[in-house]
Amino acid sequence: MDTEPGNFPATAGCQARKFGQPLTSSDATLDARLTMALTRVVHAIRTQQQDQSVGYGLLPVQADLLLSLRGDRPAAERDVVTLARDLHLTPTVVADAARVLEHKTLVRWQTEAPGSPPMLNLTPLGQMQADSLGGEQLLLDRLGDLDADAKANALAVILELIYEFQRRGIVSVVRTCTTCRHLRRDGLPGGRTSYHCQLLEVALLPTDLRVDCPEHQAQVLA
Ligand code: SF4
Protein backbone atom coordinates (compact mmCIF):
# COMPACT_ATOMS: atom_id res chain seq x y z
CA MET A 1 0.00 0.00 0.00
CA ASP A 2 1.47 3.41 -0.99
CA THR A 3 1.36 6.20 1.58
CA GLU A 4 2.82 9.70 1.72
CA PRO A 5 5.86 10.06 3.95
CA GLY A 6 4.69 10.72 7.53
CA ASN A 7 1.22 9.28 6.97
CA PHE A 8 -0.12 6.14 8.54
CA PRO A 9 -1.80 3.87 5.99
CA ALA A 10 -5.61 3.91 6.20
CA THR A 11 -6.99 0.56 7.24
CA ALA A 12 -10.48 -0.58 8.22
CA GLY A 13 -11.47 1.34 11.35
CA CYS A 14 -8.34 3.51 11.25
CA GLN A 15 -8.28 6.82 9.37
CA ALA A 16 -4.96 8.00 7.95
CA ARG A 17 -3.49 10.80 10.10
CA LYS A 18 -0.52 13.04 9.54
CA PHE A 19 2.29 12.40 12.01
CA GLY A 20 2.19 15.13 14.66
CA GLN A 21 -1.50 15.97 14.28
CA PRO A 22 -3.36 16.43 17.59
CA LEU A 23 -4.65 13.24 19.15
CA THR A 24 -8.35 12.56 19.24
CA SER A 25 -10.58 10.35 21.35
CA SER A 26 -9.87 7.55 18.89
CA ASP A 27 -6.29 7.63 20.24
CA ALA A 28 -7.48 6.70 23.72
CA THR A 29 -5.30 3.60 23.64
CA LEU A 30 -2.11 5.64 23.11
CA ASP A 31 -1.02 5.16 26.74
CA ALA A 32 -1.60 1.42 26.47
CA ARG A 33 0.33 1.17 23.22
CA LEU A 34 3.16 3.30 24.58
CA THR A 35 3.30 1.05 27.65
CA MET A 36 3.44 -2.05 25.49
CA ALA A 37 6.13 -0.56 23.25
CA LEU A 38 8.30 0.45 26.24
CA THR A 39 7.86 -3.01 27.73
CA ARG A 40 9.10 -4.58 24.53
CA VAL A 41 12.13 -2.29 24.35
CA VAL A 42 13.00 -3.13 27.96
CA HIS A 43 12.53 -6.84 27.26
CA ALA A 44 14.81 -6.67 24.20
CA ILE A 45 17.56 -4.93 26.17
CA ARG A 46 17.19 -7.29 29.12
CA THR A 47 17.33 -10.33 26.82
CA GLN A 48 20.49 -9.04 25.19
CA GLN A 49 22.06 -8.38 28.61
CA GLN A 50 21.19 -11.89 29.79
CA ASP A 51 22.63 -13.46 26.65
CA GLN A 52 25.84 -11.47 27.07
CA SER A 53 26.08 -12.28 30.80
CA VAL A 54 25.88 -15.99 30.00
CA GLY A 55 28.62 -15.48 27.41
CA TYR A 56 30.82 -13.87 30.08
CA GLY A 57 29.96 -16.57 32.63
CA LEU A 58 28.17 -14.11 34.95
CA LEU A 59 25.07 -14.66 37.02
CA PRO A 60 22.41 -11.92 36.72
CA VAL A 61 23.31 -10.42 40.09
CA GLN A 62 26.98 -10.23 39.10
CA ALA A 63 26.08 -8.60 35.78
CA ASP A 64 23.83 -6.08 37.58
CA LEU A 65 26.65 -5.17 39.96
CA LEU A 66 29.05 -4.73 37.07
CA LEU A 67 26.53 -2.48 35.29
CA SER A 68 25.93 -0.41 38.41
CA LEU A 69 29.60 0.55 38.54
CA ARG A 70 29.56 2.27 35.16
CA GLY A 71 29.02 5.93 34.44
CA ASP A 72 29.57 8.80 36.83
CA ARG A 73 28.72 6.94 40.03
CA PRO A 74 30.39 9.11 42.68
CA ALA A 75 33.45 7.61 44.33
CA ALA A 76 31.75 7.90 47.72
CA GLU A 77 28.83 5.70 46.60
CA ARG A 78 30.83 2.61 45.68
CA ASP A 79 30.84 0.96 49.10
CA VAL A 80 29.01 -2.31 49.59
CA VAL A 81 26.16 -0.83 51.64
CA THR A 82 25.31 1.87 49.09
CA LEU A 83 25.60 -0.53 46.17
CA ALA A 84 23.31 -2.98 47.98
CA ARG A 85 20.75 -0.22 48.58
CA ASP A 86 20.78 0.84 44.93
CA LEU A 87 20.47 -2.72 43.65
CA HIS A 88 17.78 -3.72 46.17
CA LEU A 89 20.07 -6.47 47.47
CA THR A 90 21.61 -7.29 50.82
CA PRO A 91 25.24 -6.28 51.50
CA THR A 92 26.10 -9.97 51.82
CA VAL A 93 24.82 -10.73 48.32
CA VAL A 94 26.71 -7.75 46.89
CA ALA A 95 29.90 -8.76 48.70
CA ASP A 96 29.57 -12.32 47.33
CA ALA A 97 29.01 -11.03 43.78
CA ALA A 98 31.95 -8.64 44.14
CA ARG A 99 34.18 -11.51 45.24
CA VAL A 100 33.39 -13.40 42.02
CA LEU A 101 33.97 -10.30 39.87
CA GLU A 102 37.24 -9.62 41.65
CA HIS A 103 38.36 -13.19 40.97
CA LYS A 104 37.62 -12.60 37.27
CA THR A 105 39.70 -9.37 37.47
CA LEU A 106 36.67 -7.27 36.51
CA VAL A 107 36.64 -5.14 39.69
CA ARG A 108 38.99 -4.17 42.49
CA TRP A 109 38.49 -2.79 45.98
CA GLN A 110 40.28 0.48 46.70
CA THR A 111 40.50 2.45 49.94
CA GLU A 112 40.89 6.21 49.67
CA ALA A 113 42.09 6.89 53.21
CA PRO A 114 42.90 4.86 56.32
CA GLY A 115 39.69 3.93 58.11
CA SER A 116 37.38 4.72 55.17
CA PRO A 117 35.31 1.89 53.71
CA PRO A 118 36.70 0.13 50.62
CA MET A 119 35.17 1.26 47.32
CA LEU A 120 34.54 -1.01 44.35
CA ASN A 121 35.85 0.10 40.95
CA LEU A 122 35.90 -1.44 37.51
CA THR A 123 39.17 -2.63 36.03
CA PRO A 124 39.73 -1.87 32.32
CA LEU A 125 38.51 -5.40 31.52
CA GLY A 126 35.47 -4.87 33.76
CA GLN A 127 34.73 -1.54 32.05
CA MET A 128 34.83 -3.23 28.65
CA GLN A 129 32.50 -6.05 29.71
CA ALA A 130 30.14 -3.63 31.48
CA ASP A 131 29.89 -1.44 28.37
CA SER A 132 29.20 -4.50 26.28
CA LEU A 133 26.55 -5.73 28.73
CA GLY A 134 24.80 -2.37 28.77
CA GLY A 135 22.99 -3.01 25.51
CA GLU A 136 23.26 0.65 24.49
CA GLN A 137 24.62 -0.13 21.06
CA LEU A 138 21.33 -1.76 20.14
CA LEU A 139 19.58 1.58 20.78
CA LEU A 140 22.36 3.87 19.58
CA ASP A 141 22.41 2.16 16.19
CA ARG A 142 18.73 3.00 15.71
CA LEU A 143 18.34 6.32 17.51
CA GLY A 144 20.84 8.11 15.32
CA ASP A 145 18.35 8.18 12.45
CA LEU A 146 15.38 9.51 14.40
CA ASP A 147 14.03 13.07 14.63
CA ALA A 148 15.80 15.24 17.26
CA ASP A 149 12.59 16.82 18.63
CA ALA A 150 10.94 13.44 18.99
CA LYS A 151 13.98 12.17 20.88
CA ALA A 152 13.99 15.21 23.19
CA ASN A 153 10.33 14.67 24.01
CA ALA A 154 10.92 10.96 24.56
CA LEU A 155 13.80 11.74 26.95
CA ALA A 156 11.62 14.09 29.01
CA VAL A 157 8.79 11.53 29.17
CA ILE A 158 11.11 8.69 30.23
CA LEU A 159 12.81 10.85 32.89
CA GLU A 160 9.41 11.81 34.31
CA LEU A 161 8.55 8.10 34.45
CA ILE A 162 11.78 7.44 36.36
CA TYR A 163 10.87 10.25 38.78
CA GLU A 164 7.46 8.66 39.35
CA PHE A 165 9.01 5.20 39.87
CA GLN A 166 11.43 6.60 42.41
CA ARG A 167 8.65 8.50 44.18
CA ARG A 168 6.74 5.24 44.55
CA GLY A 169 9.82 3.36 45.75
CA ILE A 170 9.98 1.11 42.66
CA VAL A 171 13.53 2.20 41.86
CA SER A 172 15.99 3.48 44.42
CA VAL A 173 18.60 6.12 43.83
CA VAL A 174 19.04 7.41 40.30
CA ARG A 175 20.91 10.57 39.42
CA THR A 176 18.45 12.00 36.92
CA CYS A 177 17.43 15.65 36.78
CA THR A 178 13.83 14.70 37.44
CA THR A 179 14.74 13.24 40.84
CA CYS A 180 17.12 16.06 41.83
CA ARG A 181 16.31 18.71 44.40
CA HIS A 182 17.96 21.36 42.24
CA LEU A 183 15.46 20.94 39.37
CA ARG A 184 12.68 23.50 39.06
CA ARG A 185 9.76 22.78 36.77
CA ASP A 186 7.53 25.54 35.39
CA GLY A 187 4.31 24.84 33.57
CA LEU A 188 3.95 26.32 30.09
CA PRO A 189 0.83 26.78 27.93
CA GLY A 190 -0.27 23.63 26.18
CA GLY A 191 0.72 21.33 29.05
CA ARG A 192 4.42 21.73 28.28
CA THR A 193 7.07 22.10 30.97
CA SER A 194 10.24 24.16 31.20
CA TYR A 195 13.16 23.07 33.37
CA HIS A 196 15.78 25.03 35.29
CA CYS A 197 18.79 23.77 37.28
CA GLN A 198 19.08 25.98 40.35
CA LEU A 199 22.55 24.65 41.21
CA LEU A 200 24.12 25.29 37.81
CA GLU A 201 21.81 28.28 37.23
CA VAL A 202 20.95 27.24 33.71
CA ALA A 203 17.73 26.62 31.85
CA LEU A 204 17.49 23.04 30.69
CA LEU A 205 15.88 22.06 27.43
CA PRO A 206 14.44 18.54 27.34
CA THR A 207 17.58 17.59 25.43
CA ASP A 208 19.72 18.90 28.33
CA LEU A 209 18.10 16.80 31.05
CA ARG A 210 20.75 14.59 32.60
CA VAL A 211 20.44 10.89 33.23
CA ASP A 212 23.52 10.47 35.44
CA CYS A 213 24.60 13.83 36.86
CA PRO A 214 27.60 14.03 39.21
CA GLU A 215 26.06 17.12 40.89
CA HIS A 216 22.77 15.34 41.56
CA GLN A 217 21.29 15.60 45.03
CA ALA A 218 18.26 13.47 45.78
CA GLN A 219 15.12 15.39 46.57
CA VAL A 220 12.94 14.41 49.49
CA LEU A 221 10.02 12.69 47.80
CA ALA A 222 6.52 12.95 49.18
S1 SF4 B 1 22.33 19.33 39.62
FE2 SF4 B 1 22.46 17.94 37.86
S3 SF4 B 1 20.76 16.48 38.18
FE4 SF4 B 1 20.39 18.25 39.49
S5 SF4 B 1 19.02 19.55 38.25
FE6 SF4 B 1 21.14 20.28 37.97
S7 SF4 B 1 21.84 19.23 36.10
FE8 SF4 B 1 20.01 18.14 36.83
Measured from the CB, is residue 197 less than 6 Å from ligand 1?
yes
Q: pTM for this one?
A: 0.63
Range of the domain at 99: 56-136
36 located within any domain: no
24 located within any domain: no
CA 187 – ligand 1 centroid, Å: 18
- The count of domains in the chain is 2
Measured from the CB, is residue 170 less than 6 Å from ligand 1?
no
141 located within any domain: no
Last residue in a domain, options 136, 162, 186:
136
One domain, residues 131 and 153: no
Q: Are 216 and 210 in contact (CB under 8 A)?
A: yes
118 located within any domain: yes
In tens, the pLDDT along 4-47 reads 333 334 433 344 444 445 555 445 588 888 888 888 888 888 88
Name the residue among 191, 206, 96, 200 with its Cα closest to residue 160.
206
In tens, the pLDDT along 156-207 reads 888 888 888 878 877 776 788 888 999 998 887 777 788 999 998 998 888 8
CATH code for the domain in which residue 132 is found: 1.10.10.10
87 located within any domain: yes
